[in-house]
Amino acid sequence: RGPSWCFVELGRAIERSVATSQLLLCADLRRAPTPAAILKVIVELLDVQMTYRFRYRDQLQRNAVLDLGITDESNPRSLAFQAKRLTMQIARLPVIDTDPLPAAEERLAMKCAHDIRMLDSDALTAASAAAVVAALEGMRDGAEQLASALTRKFLVHSGTLRRIVGSSGGRP
């Protein structure tokens, strides 16, 4: 598959990253304890009901829901999976410049992945909700910045803007 497929996959991963991050941020994770109704909605919206029941039985727990939604790299709906997918697809894009340092889009994807991977089971507790919120905001903002960086580098093909001067002596 060529570069076009990479852009399709990148777009899907960026959209899912932003949507999942925003969903979890709207759940108001700073509130302790997190109401069971909110946890149930998160599990349903992330479409991980079967995985949750298989791993954790039927009792909803905040740590388990956040584990499936954020840090589980084997779950295609999680942010960790999306961050991994972003870095893989960025690495497959065509190289435009010869700079030996990582390009802006590579750095953004690595930062998103780093923010999510640095969360551990202790960070998913209600006591350290600030770390989770910071990681979610970092992932959301990083994915949006990545989309902008990719657009500027690969998709905008216009040159510098010039004013078109008509035959009326330079007046528009």
Which tokens is 15 given?
A: 């959209």
pLDDT in tens, 3-41: 788 889 999 999 999 999 999 999 877 777 888 899 999
Closest CA to 132 of 108, 116, 146: 116
Closest CA to 110 of 135, 132, 78, 142: 142
Give CA–CA dist 170/17, Å, rounded.
49
Please answer whether residues 103 and 97 qualify as being in contact, where contact means their C-beta atoms are separated by less than 8 angstroms: yes
- Its pTM stands at 0.82
Please answer whether residues 73 and 84 qualify as being in contact, where contact means their C-beta atoms are separated by less than 8 angstroms: yes
pLDDT in tens, 93-134: 887 777 778 888 899 999 999 989 988 877 777 667 888 889
Work out the average pLDDT over 60-84.
Answer: 91
